[in-house]
Structure 1
Amino acid sequence: MGAPSTTTSDRAARAHEPLAAHAVMETADVDEAQHVVTDVYVPHELDSLGGRPLDARLNSIASERLTLGYLVYGANASLDLPPLEHCYHVNLTLNGRTEVTRRAGRERAVTEAGRSGAVLLPTEDSTVTWSPEAVQFAMKFPRGPLEEHLGGLIGRPVTDPLDFDISMDLSDGPGAALMAAVRFLQTEIDRPGGISDSPLARAQLETYVMTALLHGVRHQYTDALHAPRAEDRPTLVRQALEFIETHAGEPFSIPQLAKRLGVSTRTLQVTFARNVGMTPSEYVRDQRLSRVHAELVTGDPSSTSVTECAAAWGFLHQGRFSEQYRHKYGELPSRTLRNG
């Protein structure tokens, strides 16, 4: 069916939409819209009320940290999404309204223009129903970068998927700061000579958007995020963290590390767990998983072996490694390498 017919005034208005230089879709066809949005975001089923044509368009731009899109369906539309697995999806409603459900309808939220948004989770099914006039910033955040960024903010690795609240208030407080951060990112991408011409500057601004999201929507690590940073961690813990992070690629045992630091294994384990929130062995494994992930993201699928990469970082049991990797990143290592 292709693109809907547009007037000269429509084309002029769309030329000034957010991310207009990054248009990837303009269509009346439901199947085409589903295909394109699946490619940019996640698999889903799309229906329009009574099978009516859409007036859909999507402008989007992506990096390894996030995908930012300006999405319109232009009709009553409903999206059914299975668990997202490897990412979080955030909708910031700019116009109209949507209704969002999670966990087979047990959680529900209504988003309104400029006032509220919603979060879809890696571990839960979701449904999003759009009004004809609804317009949203649709954002995808891969699990690995977002969870690792949170770990850096709270001073310990994040080992479980984030259980964000279903909705956030965009009109005040941290939610308003999130909307401001996203709008600033979008404005700078659209501005000639803006941050799109500076990869480092863009990375810094995208990281700020990630921070704003983590502060703007409540989750199970919110209290830790808001707590004062423990700058006075015991010297023993600081030394253990430094050694593990510097020597993650080398073979060593926790008793060997304790001996190097001049304490008993029990003292190291108890002090480390109390201050870091996990055992030294768990932290070593988390660091090594992060290094494997980084190599797979940048690796060439034609020449990079998941098995060899895992073994290089001390993971010799492939089945156990794959399960640990999937738990942390929401996808199998082979998929990370393939989608890099």
Structure 2
Amino acid sequence: MRADTLGDHFLPTAGTAVRDPSPMFATRSGTTAEVQQLADEVFSAPRWVTGIGGAPARCRLRVLRFGPVIMSDWEADEAIQVIAPDLDDYNIGLAPAGRLFTEQRGIVTTATTLEGAVCRPGSPARAWWRPDTRPVTVALAPGALEAELEALLGHPVRGPLRLSRRFDLTRGMGRSWGALAGLVHAELCAADGMIYRPMIAERLWASMLGGLLLAVHHQYSDELNEPAAPSRPRSVKRAIDAIEADPARPFTTASLARVAGISARSLQDGFRRHVGVTPMVYLQEVRLGRAHVELSTSAPGAITVSEVAHRWGFVHLGRFAAAYRRRFGLLPSETLREP
């Protein structure tokens, strides 16, 4: 669902772990005071939008809210600053061009094409930039990020997380997370983009949470990077049973781990040991099997390949057809035409 203004479409606030899974988009152009109105609707804690020194200015704000993630895209003709008197989320600053400056607790961090800047919840924060910069910011609900970490580790954690103030976007997990953020940003204004399908949106925001925990150093990083403890076959069976019972459900590795009662890393290790594939590969294989049954038993003209693919969680038809052909030796359309 898309909207010109957000109003009451946003459900719980940024501090909660669960939100309406339907993505919401809004944009506002005008004076900083007019853009301020949209910021007030989006964020649970105040953001003050002004020109540098408090002077009025003109700018444009676009926001995409999906699950516990808010992505903001800014453009201005003059130098702009955004002040959060009491930041209540984890805020990641990116600068695809130019430089974005952030300040929290007297520490100034600069986001560039090489590094991302991080602000933590619990204290005032400020960000500012010049007209040659079009910053992208990603706000993550604390409850959701910490719940994702608990799923990965398999035990409770105490927040807020002490994320590093900056992280490298040129290599390793930082580069991967930056590429993922770029993918979501590219979908920002695409009315027909896959980000506006709740099933895909849930996977993307879950990937952004988990990926950030690996990309940015924090007090649990060493534990997160330790080899996973082996899981028991009973735990793996619980995950398999959940997949078999409802393969169309938008499962992620983390959500399956919660079903199994173990950490996501242990679940992946257990699947590799006892099933031979990852949980997501197993899920795809089950979905392909269900799609094959439906295509094989339906009369030509009664359904379309696209309908079947989407029903079983395949959004990209070309990839669905390629995976289907590898599995069954023919295209989905050929199965549907068979007498």
Structure 2 length-normalised TM: 0.56
Are 1:36 and 2:38 matched, yes or no?
yes
Partner of 1:195: 194
Equivalent position of 2:142 in the other structure = 143
- 1:102 corresponding residue in structure 2: 104
**% identical equivalent positions:** 26
Hey, what's the Cα distance between the residues in 2 that align with 1:63 and 1:89?
A: 15
> Residues 196, 211 of structure 1: CA spacing in aligned structure 2 closer, same or farther, 3 A cutoff?
same
Give the corresponding residue for 1:215. 214
Asked if structure 2 preserves the Cα contact closer than 8 Å seen for 1:74 and 1:134, the reply is no
Partner of 1:220, secondary structure, is: coil
Q: Secondary structure at the match of 1:140?
A: strand
Question: Given the superposition, is the C-alpha separation of residues 189 and 49 from structure 1 closer, same or farther in structure 2, using an over 3 Å criterion?
Answer: closer
CA deviation vs aligned residue, 1:269-293 (integer Å, no higher than 9, x gap): xxxxxxxxxxxxxxxxxxxxxxxxx
Measure how far apart 1:37 and its partner are.
2.0
Q: Give the partner amino acid of 2:127.
A: V
Query: Which residue of 2 is the match for residue 56 of structure 1?
Result: 59
Q: Which residue of 2 aligns with 1:92?
A: 94
- Aligned-pair distance for 1:69? 1.9
- Secondary structure of 2:185's aligned partner: helix
* Aligned residues of 1:44 and 1:81 also touching (Cα < 8 A): yes
Query: Segments of 4+ in structure 1 off by > 4 A?
Result: 50-53, 188-193
Instruction: Indicate if the aligned counterparts of 1:96 and 1:133 stay in contact, CA closer than 8 A.
Output: yes
Deviation of 1:164 (Å): 1.0
| Aligned partner of residue 95 in structure 2, secondary structure | strand
Distance in 1, Cα, partners of 2:176 & 2:72: 18
1:64 and 1:142 in contact (8 A); partners too: no
1:95–1:55 distance in 2 versus 1, CA, 3 Å: farther
Q: Say if 1:120 and 1:39 are closer, same or farther in 2 by CA, change over 3 A.
A: farther
The equivalent of 1:75 in structure 2 is 78
Q: Is the 8 A contact 1:83 1:121 kept in 2?
A: no
Residue 176 in structure 1 maps to residue 179 in structure 2: no
Cα deviation 1:193-251 (Å, max 9, x = unaligned): 53245311221121111112111111111111111111269x9xx9xxxxxxxxxxxxx
In 2 relative to 1, CA 76–222 (structure 1 residues): closer, same or farther, beyond 3 Å?
same
Unmatched segments (≥5 aa) in structure 2: 1-23, 236-339
Residue aligned with 1:94, SS:
coil
For residues 99 and 169 of structure 2, the distance between their equivalents in structure 1, rounded to whole angstroms, comes to 13
* Counterpart-to-counterpart distance in 1, 2:168 and 2:28: 29
SS at match of 1:61: strand
Partner of 2:127: 128
Alignment RMSD: 3.0
Residue identity matched to 1:102:
Q
Please give the alpha-carbon distance, in whole angstroms, between the structure 2 residues aligned to 1:66 and 1:22. 12
> In structure 1, what is the Cα distance between the partners aligned to 2:81 and 2:185?
26
Q: TM-score under structure 1 normalisation? A: 0.56
Structure 1 residues 189 and 46 mapped into 2: Cα distance closer, same or farther (>3 Å)?
Answer: closer
Match of 2:260 in 1: none
Cα distance change, pair 135–34 in 1 and its aligned pair in 2 (3 A)? same
Look up the match of 2:10.
Answer: none
User: Secondary structure of the equivalent of 2:101?
Assistant: strand
> How far is 1:22 from its partner?
3.8
**Distance 1:132-1:194 versus aligned 2 partners, 3 A rule:** closer
Amino acid at match of 1:198: R
Looking at structure 1, the residues matched to 188 and 80 of structure 2 have their Cα atoms a distance apart, in angstroms, of 29
SS at match of 1:135: coil
Structure 2 distance, partners of 1:152, 1:51, is 43
More displaced 10-residue stretch of structure 1: 185-194 or 40-49 = 185-194
